[in-house]
Amino acid sequence: MSGNSHSAGFVRVDREKATRRSLIERRKELAKEESQRTGRDADLPLIFGSSWGEHRPHNLRAPASVRPPVHRASSKTVGIALPFLAETGPAMDGAFIGPDLLSRGMFSWDPWIAKDARVIRSESMAIIGVKGSGKSMLAKSMATRLCRLHRRIAVPHDPNGEWTRVAEWVGGKTIRLGPGSRHRINFLDPGPRPSILSDDGWEYDVHQFQSQRLQAAVKILRQTTVLPEQEHTVIDLVLQAVRSRHTHVLIQQVYDELMNPTGEFADEIRRDGVGLQHTLRRIVRGDVAGMFDAPTSVGFDLDTPMVTVDTSMIEKASAEARALMRLATNDWIDRSTGASDQARMVIHEEAAVALLTEIASGSGLEQRAADEKVARHKRKSNVYLIHRIADLDALGDVGSALHSQALGLLADCETRVSYAQHPGELDRSAGVLGWNDTLRELVSKQTQGVGLWQIGQSKIAHIRNVVTPEEEAIFSTGGVQ
């Protein structure tokens, strides 16, 4: 037996023996001093456990620690040598999410930091998983922790009212909309004027916006995607007449103008506007009355950490009322924040339903796809919570433009988090999200709160979202939602 390591081992053991011997000697001396002082025999126990533990099984001691030689390599090399076990990129800064079950490192996330580091090209995210898998829990813990890093959060549509406590907890604000609530959002409210727009530019923008809103409302109420040409013209003429008299346009005024046209195009409006009178009557007199036809009563405070819109009061209303509400709240947040370049995360609970509404309003998904492109410049991070890929498939026939737009939207989300999936849908998810067999296997075994993160082109993490007991009490939905 030769070699440095062995001789070093013997040296260490010898030194231990020597130390123990000297300790025994010292104990004896102490015992002697004690008996001299007290005049009695001192019987100090000489308890010295062996450094290797007692000679019995399970003695909770390891004979000698393994000390492999240190090997240094770049994280890229280690990532390739030990796939799934080593982090492949630098650790990310941001809000703490939880441990990575593959690399055992701690994982934090902030889409803006990741974008600045060129890990992703767009800040938007998709979180996909069955009900109760932990999507909202992740969105809430990520959002509240990002709030503390001075990011702003908006939830334009909270059908279960589960974000109200969350907003309150971080000093945010909740707007409750529905019959009986004192909060109102005017369906035709164009929001604040961006400072870059000239007077004419702003006039044009407001006119376009209001005309599109009226068209969308009519399409939703009639459940159609096309309007006759004459009605386009009537909407235009009516708006022109109302806008010449009022600064803040309400649907009620549009309706009154349709019923009793006063301007120079009164005859045209009277002749071609009969259908519109009947459709818009639902908003001012019918089942949807009172929700959208009053001036906006709430201001959007850009500095509030979190703004959520609780729409749980209208969950029992008609499908059209809910669709109008989605459109109104989404646009209200969009237009209120449009002029600011603050980093803002917009969380879309039940995103597939929101997309369906956009399709029902006649704008298809082009508007949403365009919004995604603009979002990159506006520092807006859309977070789409989706139950399953099949929900996106349902938006349009396979092979149709709408279908590819829906999947394209998912592709635009450079951060995809997959929570537990229905076993029957794993193959479809694997195909759309580009999983190999290993990733598919990983997702199939995921438990509540664990998600596979696919970040940018190549980064993969398997994260258990950690929440504190206090957070859990506030975020919990008390069941599946």
Gap between the terminal Cα atoms of the chain: 67
- 361 vs 418 by CB, closer to ligand ADP: 418
Under rule CB under 6 A, residue 473 binds ligand ADP? no
- Report whether 432 contacts 410 (CB < 8 A): yes
Cβ atoms of 387 and 129 within 8 Å: the answer is yes
User: Minimum Å distance from CB 323 to Mg ion?
Assistant: 20
Rounded Cα distance, 386 and 417, in Å: 10
Closest Cα to residue 273, out of 308, 305, 238, 247?
238
Q: How far is the CB of 161 from ligand ADP (least distance, A)?
A: 13
Q: Which is nearer to ligand ADP, 78 or 101 (CB)?
A: 101
Distance CA 52, CA 55 (A): 8
Nearest distance, CB of residue 136 and Mg ion, angstroms: 3
Tell me which residues in 127-146 interact with ligand ADP (CB under 6 A): 129, 131-137
Residue number, 160 or 233, with CB nearest to ligand ADP: 160
Instruction: Tell me how far, at minimum, the Cβ of 450 lies from ligand ADP, in Å.
Output: 8
Q: 353-360 contacts: CB < 8 A, separation 24 or more?
A: 353/326, 354/157, 354/326, 354/330, 355/392, 355/395, 355/406, 355/409, 356/395, 357/220, 357/323, 357/326, 357/327, 358/327, 359/225, 359/395, 359/396, 359/402, 360/219, 360/220, 360/223, 360/225, 360/323
CB of 315 to ligand ADP, least distance (A): 16
CB of 478 to ligand ADP, least distance (A): 6
- Hey, which residues does 154 pair with through a beta bridge? 307, 346
For ligand ADP, give the closer residue by CB, 211 or 476. Answer: 476
Picked from Mg ion, ligand ADP, none, the partner binding residue 181 (CB below 5 to 8 A depending on kind) is none
Q: How many chain residues bind Mg ion (CB under 5 A)?
A: 2
Contact between 312 and ligand ADP per CB under 6 A: no
x-or-dash string of contact with ligand ADP, 92-131, rule CB under 6 A:
-------------------------------------x-x
- Residue 136 binds Mg ion (CB under 5 A): yes
**Binding string to ligand ADP for residues 417 to 456, with x set by CB under 6 A, is what?**
-------------------------------xx-------
Q: Which amino acid is at 242?
A: V
In Å, how far from its chain's centre is CA 63?
49
- Token pair listed for 315: 């969950």
Among residues 34 and 391, whose Cβ is nearest to ligand ADP?
391
Distance CA 233, CA 249 (A): 18
CB under 5 to 8 A by kind: which of Mg ion, ligand ADP, none does 157 bind? none
**Nearest distance in Å: CB 464, ligand ADP:** 7
Give the type of residue at 118: R
Give the CB-nearest residue to ligand ADP: 449
The residue written with tokens 């004192």 in the block is 182
DSSP label at residue 369: H
CB 363 within 8 A of CB 357: no
Q: Which option in Mg ion, ligand ADP, none does residue 94 bind, with CB closer than 5 to 8 A by kind?
A: none
CB of 389 to Mg ion, least distance (A): 17
Cβ at position 481, least distance to Mg ion in Å: 4
Measured from the CB atom, is 269 or 433 closer to ligand ADP? 433
d(CA 242, CA 256): 9
**Residue 264 binding target from Mg ion, ligand ADP, none, CB below 5 to 8 Å by type:** none
Q: Cβ–Cβ contacts within 10 Å for residue 244, how many?
A: 8
Contact yes or no for 173/304 (Cβ under 8 A): yes
Query: What CA–CA distance (Å, rounded) separates 334 from 154?
Result: 10
What is the distance between the alpha carbons of residues 446 and 463, in angstroms, rounded to a whole number?
Answer: 10
CA contacts within 13 A on the Cβ side of 183: 17
According to CB under 5 A, which residues from 462 to 481 bind Mg ion? 481
Shortest Cβ 188–ligand ADP spacing (Å): 33
Touching Mg ion, residues 76-135 (CB under 5 A): none
Stretch that binds ligand ADP, among 211-219, 225-233, 287-295, 470-478 (CB under 6 A): 470-478
Of 336 and 465, CB closest to ligand ADP: 465
Binding site for ligand ADP (CB under 6 A): 129, 131-137, 448-449, 465, 467, 472, 476-477, 480-481
Binding site for Mg ion (CB under 5 A): 136, 481
